[in-house]
Structures are given as C-alpha cells and as structure tokens.
Structure 1
Amino acid sequence: MTVVQERPATDARTLLRADLRATLAANLLARFPDMTEDQADRGISQMLAFLAAGARSDVPLSPSPLVDDFWHAFLLHTKAYQEFCAETLGKFVHHQPGFLDKEEHGGGKALRARTVEAIAAAGYIVDLEFWPEVDIADCSQCHANCHNSPKHV
C-alpha cells in the first residue's frame, strides 16, 4: 500500500528576509495610501510566489497588474533583487514589458490560469485577491518577451 501525503502550500514571503519585506511593504504603503499592511504583506507573498514559479516554468507566465506593482517595488532595490534571484531562485528573472503572442500563449485568461496553476504547482499559496480573472499585466518573466528566445523581436 502506498500512502500519498499532500504537503500544505508554502507562504512565499518566507523566501525573502524580514527586513527587506518590511522595506518593500513600507515603500508600497507610501505609494498606495489606501493599501493596508495586510494587503502589502500578502501582495509581497504573491509577487514572490510568481517569481519562484516563473523561475521554474518552461512557459511564460505573467503577473496580474497588482502583482506587477509589487514586482516593480522589488526591482527598485536592484542589488537586493539580483541577490534574491541568484541565491533563492538560482537565476535572474527578467521583467520584460510587452505582450505575449495570443496565438502562441493564449489571451489574458489563459495566462492568468497558467500562472496561478504554476504557483500552486510550485507549492505556494495562491491568494486570488491578487489574481483577478480579467486583467493581466503587459509583461512577463521571460527575457525578450518570448521564453528562451532572446532574439525575438
């Protein structure tokens, strides 16, 4: 008899040092005065889950516009972001603005579904408040707007 145990999903905020999480949260709260501390903390978690899933994915993923705001906040700390990518993800995750070809990668709903599924498959908690069904940001985690294709124009 084989027993299969499901592991509970991990909160991705544990991927980042507490002091850097606090700095990112403070920056976001200053930029978005209507955001609560809880939303800032949860959003950081979703951004980190997106980055971790994107680093493992063989296909492009895309953040929601809200998760993209959290990613932008992290990118402003270039040295810390670079170190996080190298030490935690094992590779640099590029922020590449632009549209993914709808024929090849599906539209916004397909990208959202693929991204949310990839986060869950990577073992992280998915907080659907940060992944609204209709909106996907105009960027992806892949280099040059097409995964594994740096010469794509």
Structure 2
Amino acid sequence: MTTMIESPVALRHGRDLVSPELFETLSAFCADEYGHELSMARRIMGEALAFLWVMGTTGKGDVMAPSTIVDPGWHTFALHSKEYAEWCDQQFGYFLHHAPNSKTRTKDLMLSMADEIRAAGFDVDQRMWAKAADCNSPACRGDGPCC
C-alpha cells in the first residue's frame, strides 16, 4: 500500500498582486506618511492589497471595510492614482473607489473581513484585523487605552 502525503496548499499573499517594485514603493510611502517602521508598512500593504482584491472581485464594497490599521494601505495605493487606476482596471475591469461609509468597524465586521480574505486563498495576518479596543494581548497594537 502506498501512502500519499498531501502537500500543503500555498496561500496567496497580497504583496504578490503588484510588482515587487511597486510593492516596495507603496510600502516606503506608507511608512513615511503614517510613521510606521518599514516592516509594519509592508504588513499593512500586503493586507490592504488582499482586501482590495477581495472587495473588487466580489463587488461587496458596500458591506466591506478595512480595519483601522489596514486603511492607510488603501489610502497609500489610491494616492498613487495612476498605478492604482491601472491595477483596478487589470484586476476588476473597473475603478474601485474609496468611498468611506458610516459603518462602524466592529469586531464582528473585522473578523468577517479576515474570513473573506482567507476564503479567497490569502494568508491573513489576523492581528491586522483586530480592534485594539478589544484589549486582548494578541490583537493589541499599542494604540488603545489599555494596551
């Protein structure tokens, strides 16, 4: 009898949705603009790109929202308007507008976003989708009153 070992499924990464050069340009801008270390800006951009891809391919933009920590990644990409517009056209065939809604970023909504991104095959950094106000150690980013 032969036993077959299943190989793990390779998860996608948001950073792979753009060229390495563009990813580094966006990450450096995010770091400079929002005062993050470059390593954190890379994490933000990776999550933001995966989020944007899921939002654009599902057409669920009216019920989706990025976490507070991921939103600057979307802002960063949108500020690089030529690259962002070209990317949107290539990925979705339309321009994905950043149209903030009045939706509150609740814990349930952020968990739902992480689940949607994961379901699309992306590796998700769960800490980027938590709320600091929840004050649980793994999610705390140091920006809440109890963290």
Large movers: runs of 4+ above 4 Å: none
Q: Does 1:13 align with 2:15?
A: yes
Q: 2:114 aligns with which of 101, 116, 119?
A: 116
State the Cα RMSD in Å.
Answer: 2.4
Aligned length: 127
Partner of 1:48: 49
Distance 1:26 1:133 in 2: 24
Partner of 2:83: 80
Unaligned runs of 5+ in 2: 1-5, 134-147
CA deviation profile, 1:67-86 (whole Å, cap 9, x unmatched): 11111011111111011111
Higher relative contact order (CA 8 A, sep 6+): 1
Q: How does 1:130-145 map to 2 (within 5 A)?
A: 130-133=128-131
Distance 1:111 1:92 in 2: 24
Confirm or deny: 8 A CA contact 1:11 1:45 kept in the other structure.
yes
Distance 1:10 1:52 in 2: 11
Structure 2 vs 1, CA of residues 27 and 61 (structure 1 numbering), >3 Å: closer, same or farther? Answer: same
Shift, 1:58, TM fit: 5.2
Unaligned runs of 5+ in 1: 136-153
Shift, 1:123, TM fit: 0.6
Q: How does 1:21-60 map to 2 (within 5 A)?
A: 21-33=23-35, 35-57=36-58, 59=60, 60=63
Shift, 1:7, TM fit: 2.2
Greater CA radius of gyration, 1 or 2? 2
Shift, 1:29, TM fit: 1.8
Amino acid in the other structure paired with 1:93? L
